[in-house]
């Protein structure tokens, strides 16, 4: 029967899918949002911080109603080497005023809220349903298949995350991403009192901190650690290249335990209780793993499209997911106005993405993944930096040495070649 057809079916109620569903439903379309989890967000994880700009475009002043943890006031980057660490610590209180720069948040609540917004706007949300395949008619995507059931739609939006089955089924991407294209993330949420969180990170009120770690925590493998302060807990985790983990036979859970026990972290989480543990993949290969973004009757958004930027000092995925979900919704609205859901018409999506920060930023940092694949970034440089600065601060009655001399000594010690240093320095400055 005809009534069983939706204008759009969105697969996955993560930030990308819920944003698209929200916008389409608000525009009056009949929208179905399908989520395999028992509720939106139950299985979703991320590090812990979302940059606000993208969502603010879709839901202005969203912070007045969204379940958020803390507005980030303090950014820290820490290099680790054994007992040494070097931290760059930057506080900017303007970040904690509207339009807040970024927020820490917990996905279970946030995703449920955003999906709830879509539902409120009139989208139909079906949880506990896994989409298994696409309905193809005349070579065009015409709906979805879940178990025994088929459901037709003018257009399907794949928002099903890093392993996107839907993009594969649509033939937009060959197979699941290869190990070198993804990072494995593991995270624990550690409960502390709100006062302890604020005190330990020097935060006033409900301000938050975001801290990234490079060095020992990944045993020199490509990746890093992250720490975000929530209201009354800390999100702590690691992201390590899946390929390197495999090669070195390390288990991410063991690495995380070691990281927690290290003298740099242990005091920060002392007395805390682990209330949540999760693991998830992160697309890491940037534009290198971007599938075809659209075809007849289908669009690919968020992680499914590989829209994640991991620069070591910045991890961004949520804002890309939201902005790409919004761009997809706009493309669908145009297509609907013309009643044309062909590849050509839906190509508008790519245009919208190019006009927005999504493809612009990914393009700008195109080379970053390769740069970050350089081993030295994760072992030798942290060693060098911590060694140098610790040397500067060390007074031990030894011969005085100028800064340059100290630096030269440390470079020698870290075993980095001059050519490499110059090359990496130049590349780094250009790419990041």
Partner 1 sequence: MAGVWILAESREPTLELLSAGIDIAAQLGVKVAAFALSSQLAEEYIKCGCDEVMLLPPLAAGQPLESYVPVIVEEALLNGPDIILIGASQRGREIAARAAAALNTGLCSGCTGLRLDQEKKQLVMERMLFGGAAVQTVVCETRPQMATIPPRTFEQAQPAEGHQGEVRQLPAAPPSPVTVVERTPKTSEAVDITEAKTVVCVGRGVGKQEDIALARELAGVLGGEVGCSRPVAEDLRWLPEELYLGISGKKVKPDLYIGVGVAGQIQHVSGIRDSKVIVGINRDENAPIFEAADYGIVGDLYDIVPKLVKEIKAALKI
Partner 2 sequence: MPRIIACFKWVMDEADIKADPKSRQLVLDRVGYKISDYDRNAIEEAVQLQEKHGGSVVGITVATPGAKPCLKDALSRGPEKACFVNDPAFENLDPSQTAAILAAAIDGKIEYDLIICGEGSSDLYAQQVGPALAEKLGIPCATYVNKLTYVEGENKVIAQRKLDDGLETVSVKLPALITVLPDLNTPRIPSLKQVLGAAKKPVDNVSLANLQQTFEPCLKTTGILAATMERRRLKFTADPEDIRKVVDSLIKEGVIA
Using rule CB under 6 A, residue 336 touches ligand FAD: no
Burial class (CB in 10 A: 0-12, 13-18, 19+), 28: exposed
Lookup: tokens for 366 = 């195109």
Residue 264 CA to residue 259 CA, distance in Å, equals 8
Using rule CB under 8 A, residue 133 touches partner 2: no
Closest CA to 46 of 21, 19, 16: 16
Applying the rule CB under 6 A, the residues between 31 and 50 that interact with ligand FAD are 34-37, 43-44, 46-50
Helix (H, G, I), strand (E, B) or coil at 76: strand
Residue 406 CA to residue 408 CA, distance in Å, equals 5
Residue 59 main-chain phi, psi, to 5 deg: -125, 90
- Rounded (5°) CA angle 313-318-323: 120
Contact (Cβ atoms closer than 8 angstroms) between residue 107 and residue 242? no
Q: How far is the CB of 252 from partner 1 (least distance, A)?
A: 10
Q: How far is the CB of 190 from partner 1 (least distance, A)?
A: 15
**One residue of 93, 261, 275, 364 binding partner 2 per CB under 8 A:** 275
- For ligand FAD, the closer of residues 224 and 272 by Cβ is 224
**One residue of 191, 200, 250, 427 binding partner 2 per CB under 8 A:** 191
Using rule CB under 8 A, residue 277 touches partner 1: yes
Binding mask 219-258 for ligand FAD (x = CB under 6 A): ------------------x-x-------------------
**One residue of 273, 355, 363, 401 binding partner 2 per CB under 8 A:** 273
Total residues found in the chain within this entry: 432
Using rule CB under 8 A, residue 209 touches partner 2: no
Using rule CB under 6 A, residue 177 touches ligand FAD: no
Contact (Cβ atoms closer than 8 angstroms) between residue 36 and residue 131? yes
Residue 243 CA to residue 15 CA, distance in Å, equals 27
Using rule CB under 8 A, residue 253 touches partner 1: yes
Helix (H, G, I), strand (E, B) or coil at 39: coil
Applying the rule CB under 6 A, the residues between 96 and 135 that interact with ligand FAD are 130-131
Which of the ranges 8-16, 59-67, 351-359, 411-419 carries the binding residues for ligand FAD, by CB under 6 A?
8-16
Lookup: tokens for 305 = 């499209």
Residue 62 CA to residue 195 CA, distance in Å, equals 26
Picked from ligand FAD, partner 1, partner 2, none, the partner binding residue 120 (CB below 5 to 8 A depending on kind) is: none
**One residue of 30, 276, 361, 373 binding partner 2 per CB under 8 A:** 276
Picked from ligand FAD, partner 2, partner 1, none, the partner binding residue 20 (CB below 5 to 8 A depending on kind) is: none
Q: Which residue has the tokens 């007045």?
A: 64
Give the residues lining the site for partner 1 (CB under 8 A).
Answer: 251, 253, 277
- Contacting residues toward partner 2, per CB under 8 A: 32, 34, 38-39, 42, 106, 108, 124, 126-129, 146-149, 151, 189, 191, 273-276
């Amino acid at each position: 029967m005809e009534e069983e057809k939706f204008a759009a079916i969105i697969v996955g109620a993560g930030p990308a899918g819920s944003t698209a569903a929200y916008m389409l439903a608000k525009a009056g379309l009949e929208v179905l949002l399908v989520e395999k989890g028992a509720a939106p967000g139950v299985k979703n994880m991320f590090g812990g911080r979302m940059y606000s700009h993208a969502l603010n475009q879709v839901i202005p002043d969203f912070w007045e109603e969204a379940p958020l943890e803390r507005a980030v006031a303090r950014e820290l980057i820490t290099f680790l080497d054994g007992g040494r660490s070097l931290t760059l610590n930057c506080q900017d209180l303007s970040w904690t005023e509207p339009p807040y720069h970024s927020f820490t948040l917990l996905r279970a609540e946030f995703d449920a809220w955003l999906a709830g917004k879509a539902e409120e706007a009139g989208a139909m949300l079906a949880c506990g349903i896994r989409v298994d395949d696409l309905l193809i008619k005349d070579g065009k995507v015409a709906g979805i298949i879940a178990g025994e059931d088929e459901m037709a739609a003018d257009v399907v939006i794949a928002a099903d995350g890093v392993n996107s089955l839907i993009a594969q089924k649509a033939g937009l991407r060959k197979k699941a991403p290869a190990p070198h294209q993804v990072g494995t993330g593991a995270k624990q949420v550690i409960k502390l009192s709100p006062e302890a969180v604020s005190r330990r990170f020097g935060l006033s009120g409900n301000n938050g901190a975001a801290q990234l770690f490079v060095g020992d925590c990944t045993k020199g493998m490509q990746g890093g650690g992250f720490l975000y302060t929530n209201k009354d807990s800390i999100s702590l985790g690691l992201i390590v290249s899946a390929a390197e983990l495999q090669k070195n036979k390390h288990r991410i859970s063991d690495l995380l335990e070691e990281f927690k026990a290290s003298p740099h972290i242990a005091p920060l989480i002392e007395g805390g209780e682990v209330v949540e543990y999760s693991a998830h993949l992160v697309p890491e290969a940037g534009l290198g793993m971007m599938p075809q973004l659209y075809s007849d009757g289908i669009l690919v958004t968020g992680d499914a499209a590989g829209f994640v930027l991991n620069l070591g000092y910045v991890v961004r995925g949520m804002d890309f997911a939201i902005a790409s979900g919004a761009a997809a919704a706009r493309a669908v609205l145009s297509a609907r106005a013309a009643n044309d859901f062909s590849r050509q018409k839906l190509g508008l999506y790519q245009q919208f993405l190019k006009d927005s920060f999504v493809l612009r930023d990914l393009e700008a940092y195109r080379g970053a993944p390769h740069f970050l694949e350089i081993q030295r970034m994760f072992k030798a440089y942290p060693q060098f930096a911590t060694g140098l600065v610790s040397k500067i601060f060390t007074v031990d009655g030894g011969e005085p040495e100028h800064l340059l001399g100290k630096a030269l000594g440390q470079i020698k010690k870290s075993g980095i070649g001059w050519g490499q240093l110059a090359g990496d320095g130049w590349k780094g400055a250009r790419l990041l």
